[in-house]
Structure 1
Amino acid sequence: EQTGSGVFTGVEEVIVTAQKREQNANDVGMTIDTASGDAINAAGITDTFDLGKLISGFTANMNYYGSVTYTMRGIGFQDTALASPQTISVAIDEMPIPFSAMTGGAILDLERVEVLKGPQGTLFGMNTTGGAINYIANKPTPEFEGELKVGVARFNEFDVGGYLSGPITDTLSYRVAVRSITSDGHYYSYTNNQGAGPNPMWASRGYDWSFDNEKGEKDLFNSRLSLLFEPSDAFSALLRVDYWTDKSDSPMPQFQDGWRRSMNGELPPLIENYPTAPDDNRASDWGPCVNSARTGNENNVTGNTDVFGAPENLGNQNWSRCQENARDNEYTAISLRMDWDIGDMTLTSLTSFNEFEREEGLEADGTIYQNYEVHLLGDIETQFQELRLAGQFGDTGSWIVGANYEHTESEDDFLATFGYSTVVPFTFFTVIPFGPTVTYNDQETDTMSVFGSIEYGLSDDWLLTLGARYTDQEREATMCNQDSGDGVNASFGNQVIQFTQLVSTGEFQDGGNAVAGGCWVTSQEAPLFHTQKDGFTYQLNEDNVAWKAGLSYAGVEDSLFWLNVTKGYKSGSFPTIGATTTAQYNPVTQEEVLSYELGSKLGLLNGRMQINAAAFFYDYTDKQVVGSTPDPILGPLPTLVNVPESEVKGVDISMEWYPIDGLRIAPSFTYVDSEVTGEYRNWDSFARAPMNGDSKNFSGQPFPAVPETFFKMDVEYRWQLSGGAQMYVGGNVDYQDETNAGFVDTCQEAGVSCTKTSVDIRDDLSDLAIKQRTLVDLRAGIDLESWSLQAYVRNVTDEYYWTWSASTNDTVMRWAGMPRMYGASISYRF
């Protein structure tokens, strides 16, 4: 509530659409976190990745293939594929954004965000086992209005944007919003290697390989056009076009230590002796080019020697390029929502088309050398259609039935280069300088579902909720590793085929069938184990029934109590992975979560305090994780696997309190206890080739990338000045507990080798720990009738922290968070 002066004095009513219709958030029996568009802007959130600043129990991380994973209450999927289905759905005005790579521009000109915790399969569909995020965009207005906002910040950041909104005719109105963010880089090279540019081992002829001592530049553009057509009170149509580009530098990792991924070669000396990055959010190192590798093409051998004394090789001219460590990503979405009121019912149609195109160069070893680098290419197209009909049971309840269809086509390719690693040379029968390889995963998916839900009042105080959804999905994937054109990987593939023949049958059958430019992955088809030139095609067809049963009680004034039991599913998927054998292409099958949630929403102190709390328990079956599959030649190889049985339990508590006029205190706390409860044996992140001992038993361990405790608190005080102006000061505290980026070898199994003692690596790195961190932000500003000014400092203490840790070829890395940022903004409304 607000006084006549505009200063807040109590908890405001928040209208949400969590059940596909408008309701007061305190009347909905489920855990819903909301944040207004103003709160999102004040926190400096420009991407879903940072939504955890305001939403307790929500985390995001980016892996070494640039893929983003969202996790809520311990439910997430740490896959590297571009088109990997996630456990948390993201939408704008209920229009789905089905893949995390597409969500980068969702935060623009928002009214609010609604975060629904726990499985949401009945109304929001599959791939919502963790929850759902629904952004509500500001709509066109009947009167002309607009805003211009300009911000400046550290590292020469320049943030400019705004909107225009108003009528075109009596029945048609528009809204246009745009935003551009540019900045210099915040990373610096801690080895200061401007003069240590590459020799032809890294860069081939005709390319500029000069070293830039600064990375992390931002270059973002975001836009949204909305047209609202309302010819009558009974019909409305909202057309929306979203378009954004991201040409920013890619995130840079921090080198921590070197180790031998393969025992077939010695750790390259320059990796073994590479200096560890300092504990500084800005420190990093990177190669000047991505994927400018030497290969075994004899035409590129000059007769000279390189800095390592090996024959100088100018690289494969088909693939060599000085690709920047930067993105060139583009997203377009067109959606149409139509609502017809037909008597006491409403018919709603949701139609959308989304396309995302990616090209990105990634530094994936944290050094200036080419131990592992990746050039990513990809494209996703989705079409979505939903029809639903909603109505009322008189004054006793409501109902909704509907159906939807989604078609997705994706191409996920990357060119991986690892010229200076233990993979080169890889000796079986001959020494092969293992060159770049192209990994691809082309998928086509069709998903159909029908659903229904009812809310029925058993009495004035008791409300019963029942819902169900049947989903059928057909998925087809064509995958392989493709020789880059010079025959090097084809030769390697043929030697693996021959060796597999020898191991399996006791003799060589032939010389293999991999050819230059074709697929070279070994099949599982004895006795020849031949590859298929155009890749391997697989199908995964699944169906399921998600459901919900809930009971809520509102017999206590300003309070609500509820119990929900919900079953949700996440679809199976195929990996995008640098495979050597088709055993790595086995898909993970769908996972399921049976959720129990008991909660309450309490309005206290005459509207000055709101306390929401929930306890939850998830019975988790076939959780999907990145693991390994054993190979008799190469050892444990990465793949996707299902964990048979696990569970998550915890509590969510949030409060909003106005102890005096103008002072808002909003703390929140989430506790998450995740555990693998059944037998699950696999290999940890440092298992290497050939086999590094037996598999490990991870039963009893928590999930990777799931902190146990979260605490957040936002405080703001506003007071009135003469002339109607308001001043405010505020701050935000964001605490997140420690976790690990993978399952850990605890070295407690008798007769099983211990990773920590068998791998030469720092003890503090073997767990791939992500340490706890506490971030503090401060803000202050003044709001006038038409003008607003704000100044802020984020990460006030300049705390060193990292969001992810990983081991790639021969290095262990961290991805650091942002350093201290400070800036100011000014806006004008008209």
Structure 2
Amino acid sequence: MGSCWKNNSLLLSPLCVSIYLTLMSSCLEAQALPLMPPKSKNTNPLLQAGQLPETRGRDTVDTSKNAAMLSLEVATNQLPLDSKAAPSAENSDLIVTAERRSENVQNIGSSISVLSGDTLTTRNVNNVFDLQYQTPSLQVTPQFGSGQPAFAIRGVGFNDYSSNNAPTVGIYIDEVANPVPFATNGMMFDIQRVEVLRGPQGTLYGRNTTGGAINYILNKPTDTYKGGLSVQYGRFNATKIDGYVSGPINDRLRFRLSGQTEQGGAWQHNEQGASLGRTNRSAARFLLDYDANDTLKLELNIHGSHDRSDANGLHLYAPMTALPGQTYPADQSRYMTHWGTSSAFAREVGIHPNTKPFSHIDTGGVSLRSEQEFSFATLTDIFSYDRMHRWEYDNFDAFNQGLADVAFKTNAQVFANEIRLTSNDTSRLTWVGGIYYAHQSLSDQYQSGFTDSPIYGTDGDVNYDQRVNTISGFGQATYHITPQLRVTGGVRIEHESRDLLNLTSHYITNGVITNPENGVAHRNTSFTKPTGKFEIQYNPVSNDMIYVSFTRGVKSGGFTTYNSQNDALSAEPFKPESLLAYEIGNKLSLPEAHLKLNISGFYYDYRNQQIQSATFNTMNGGMIGQIVNAPRSHLYGGEVEATWTPIPNFTLSQSAGWAVGAFDRFSSLGGVQKLADNAYAGIYVNRKGDTLPFPKFTLNGSASYRWTIGDFYLTTGMNYSRRSPYHSLFGSFYNVPAYTLWGADITLTPKDARWTVAVFGKNIFNKRYDVTRNFFISGDHVALAGMPATWGVRVSGSF
């Protein structure tokens, strides 16, 4: 504890008290508080086998078990703003909709982690980058520190800083897919829970993915008038305000209006002391639920966000040697960064040469969900339309000259419609089947500032349009052979057509395009592929489920849209990737011991994995960046998740993820040689056995204790997350060292939950670490640092 008081004592001393109270609470209370009596056993044989009774609606919660109060992985220790009762500290079940029907997560035969909205608030989880520290086997990396995240689950990911390609992990908000990566890092507010599904998805979801899915489930309009407001202030003058109001308009119509704004928080600086990292973004959402009659329900969602924040700054983690005859030392502080560009590139982008890096993203959209209940099934239609706009300027060189600066101007639109029919849960056979269609259009300008680089000495300007049409049919059915034994089968057939239009990659010197002929009018790539799932679930005893599954997933192919000397060559499409997943797991609940223990293991057979690599121009030998397919690779590993309440009000959670992967057959371009006849030939490196790029181990844990003090509850908690080293494909020099982050929180609330006062800290021991390391030009070794120790105070009230 001494180091906690020694470093940032004024900022973190309340959090040190939180750690102390949490660790000591078990010793102080173990003798005074007996264990809770065991729950009575249900006599229904299906329930004894771990089955659920019939449920209606998307987010039905078993309130008799405080189902929404605890996640499998992280203990909830703050009341929601509209809660009227204190949360039970007892280990409880959780109802999710990961398989398109309300279901106990312990009865789903796949590896799933669930985070409640209260946990996200308590831990100050603001975006998808923060989400990775709350769940195992999830990695979210900002590409070169930009605002575009790259997702990976169990090592299945796709590193690409361009705007046009699909991710390996599907992002869904109330079942509406967002296939545009730069628009997935939105604000997280008024959320009921987040579900993280590991492994290929497709037989139940609108889009096909190889890595998994992240589902955001929103809070819904309420039958009574409720509202809440939360105000937060933290280190670096970071402020956050969010609130909602909800209730009935009449006996059939309900609404919910919510919003959030974030300001401040600049934590980086340059050599002159100017700050970088200021947040300036706001978002709002309006929900309207209408019961047209007893069997027809309509749900409208109108949403938008406005972001004018600074971008992240990179630092030099090794001496910079990109300029001939000059060596610039590595930055002495990870929180030091540099920005600035050439006058020529500034004119091309429309900024000043000393403009700070920025990430300006606007989004807006609408979705309409309709549900018609029949005697045998429910027909659901989900229509959605979203627009996204990005203007982003980044210094990928971490330097104050125009060596490697970039800008993105992107507009995207996504229209989607899904129709599905879901059976009722009244027979041995349950099923769901549907059709999904989506149209995506994107226009992008990607600019690169290399004027001051001795290697290039010019600027790049890439322009293109892209159109994507996807249609698929999917279905899945589960048959209950006995109350203890179930089999599940699913299939999906998907057709996608992806068109690249009017691609130009120009080089600009002194305002003049030097290669006006370099361009491609049209490229197309399409596929029609089946995917499927087969699963067996068995309950040997009550509250224990064993499952075995086989799943095949597919991720779309696409196009490389980087700077290129030869668009005709670089624009050749890369193939779709596919993954065969074999998984076995066990989900155990011991109500008498207040313990849940879930274990899963997997083996992945990876085909045509999409990798950032290069090709070369046979005319002049120039290397050209390109996304290519690795023909064969594999991964294997597993997860362990446990939640235990050894005494009342004291909850421990621990999760671990382990994954190992390597190429089985892949050769990448390592260089180009000129032959005697003046032709050029590639020098290829056999990468068989090379480790795939992701951390092998992820660990997450938490402890929380709720004290009763008169008419108040005082909750103290702490949590941690550890990442093992990240192994880069570019060599060990770019590996990211392992790091561990610790957090803590204290929450005080009256028993009627009308208000809450909370103190929280993140990275409370001020660990200095990097989240990514890379290079954009040779000799320029850059990294994005993780945030230093931060703290905050939050005051919330509700009615």
- Cα distance in 1 for residues equivalent to 2:91 and 2:670: 50
Contact 1:92 1:106 in 2 (8 A): no
Q: Tell me which residue corresponds to 1:729.
A: 716
1:707–1:340 CA distance, 2 compared to 1 (3 A): same
Among 787, 793, 798, the residue aligned to 1:824: 793
**1:662 aligned to 2:649?**
yes
The 5 A counterparts of 1:116-265 are 116-189=197-270, 192=271, 194=272, 213-257=274-318
Contact 1:655 1:666 in 2 (8 A): yes
Contact 1:671 1:708 in 2 (8 A): yes
Q: Which amino acid aligns with 1:816?
A: A
Q: Tell me which residue corresponds to 1:802.
A: 770
Q: Which amino acid aligns with 1:225?
A: F
Residue 182 of structure 2 aligns to a residue whose secondary structure is helix
The TM-score normalised by the length of structure 2 is 0.85
**1:480 aligned to 2:504?**
yes
Residue 293 of structure 1 aligns to a residue whose secondary structure is helix
Among 747, 752, 775, the residue aligned to 2:741: 775
Q: Specify every segment of 5 or more residues in structure 2 that has no aligned partner in the other structure, as ranges.
A: 1-64, 70-83, 673-678
1:168–1:286 CA distance, 2 compared to 1 (3 A): same
Among 150, 162, 182, the residue aligned to 1:81: 162
Q: Tell me which residue corresponds to 1:750.
A: none
Q: Tell me which residue corresponds to 1:430.
A: none
Contact 2:149 2:184 in 1 (8 A): no
- Cα distance in 2 for residues equivalent to 1:316 and 1:171: 56
Superposition deviation, residue 740 in structure 1: 2.6
The TM-score normalised by the length of structure 1 is 0.82
Residue deviations 1:7-38 (CA, integer Å, cap 9, x gap): 63422121111111111111111111101000
Residue deviations 1:181-224 (CA, integer Å, cap 9, x gap): 101421111xx2x4xxxxxxxxxxxxxxxxx7211111111211
Residue 203 of structure 2 aligns to a residue whose secondary structure is helix
Superposition deviation, residue 657 in structure 1: 0.4
Q: Tell me which residue corresponds to 1:638.
A: 625
- Cα distance in 2 for residues equivalent to 1:109 and 1:316: 41
Contact 1:626 1:639 in 2 (8 A): yes
**1:367 aligned to 2:354?**
no
Contact 1:166 1:174 in 2 (8 A): yes
Contact 1:636 1:691 in 2 (8 A): no
Q: Tell me which residue corresponds to 2:51.
A: none
Residue deviations 1:591-638 (CA, integer Å, cap 9, x gap): 000000001100125160000110100100000011011235354321
- Cα distance in 2 for residues equivalent to 1:588 and 1:409: 19
Among 776, 784, 787, the residue aligned to 1:815: 784
- Cα distance in 2 for residues equivalent to 1:829 and 1:487: 58
1:320–1:718 CA distance, 2 compared to 1 (3 A): closer
Contact 1:85 1:127 in 2 (8 A): no
1:634–1:601 CA distance, 2 compared to 1 (3 A): same
Q: Tell me which residue corresponds to 2:56.
A: none
Q: Which amino acid aligns with 2:505?
A: N
Superposition deviation, residue 83 in structure 1: 2.6
**1:447 aligned to 2:470?**
yes
Q: Tell me which residue corresponds to 2:79.
A: none
Contact 1:718 1:728 in 2 (8 A): yes
Contact 1:741 1:804 in 2 (8 A): no
- Cα distance in 2 for residues equivalent to 1:826 and 1:153: 12
* Sequence identity percentage: 26
Contact 2:671 2:683 in 1 (8 A): no
The 5 A counterparts of 1:417-428 are 417-424=449-456
- Cα distance in 1 for residues equivalent to 2:611 and 2:769: 25
1:337–1:7 CA distance, 2 compared to 1 (3 A): closer
- Cα distance in 1 for residues equivalent to 2:622 and 2:733: 20
Pairwise CA RMSD: 2.3
* Greater RCO, CA 8 A, separation 6+: 2
1:364–1:27 CA distance, 2 compared to 1 (3 A): same
- Cα distance in 2 for residues equivalent to 1:692 and 1:768: 27
Q: Tell me which residue corresponds to 2:695.
A: 707
Superposition deviation, residue 105 in structure 1: 2.2
- Cα distance in 2 for residues equivalent to 1:316 and 1:104: 29
Q: Tell me which residue corresponds to 1:611.
A: 597
Give the number of aligned pairs. Answer: 705
- Cα distance in 1 for residues equivalent to 2:113 and 2:794: 27
The structure number with the bigger radius of gyration is: 1
- Cα distance in 1 for residues equivalent to 2:702 and 2:279: 27
Residue 677 of structure 1 aligns to a residue whose secondary structure is strand
Contact 1:388 1:403 in 2 (8 A): yes
1:333–1:291 CA distance, 2 compared to 1 (3 A): farther
Q: Which amino acid aligns with 1:586?
A: E
Return 407-416 or 462-471, whichever deviates more.
407-416
Among 715, 734, 757, the residue aligned to 1:789: 757
Contact 2:189 2:242 in 1 (8 A): no
Residue 742 of structure 1 aligns to a residue whose secondary structure is coil
Residue 156 of structure 2 aligns to a residue whose secondary structure is coil
The 5 A counterparts of 1:213-612 are 213-257=274-318, 267-269=323-325, 272-278=326-332, 280-287=333-340, 290=341, 292-293=343-344, 321-322=352-353, 324-392=356-424, 394-424=426-456, 434-478=457-501, 479-484=503-508, 488-490=512-514, 493=515, 514=516, 520-521=517-518, 532=519, 535-581=520-566, 582-604=568-590, 606=592, 608-612=594-598
Superposition deviation, residue 375 in structure 1: 1.7
Residue 38 of structure 1 aligns to a residue whose secondary structure is helix
Residue 343 of structure 2 aligns to a residue whose secondary structure is coil
Residue 606 of structure 1 aligns to a residue whose secondary structure is helix
Return 153-162 or 473-482, whichever deviates more.
473-482
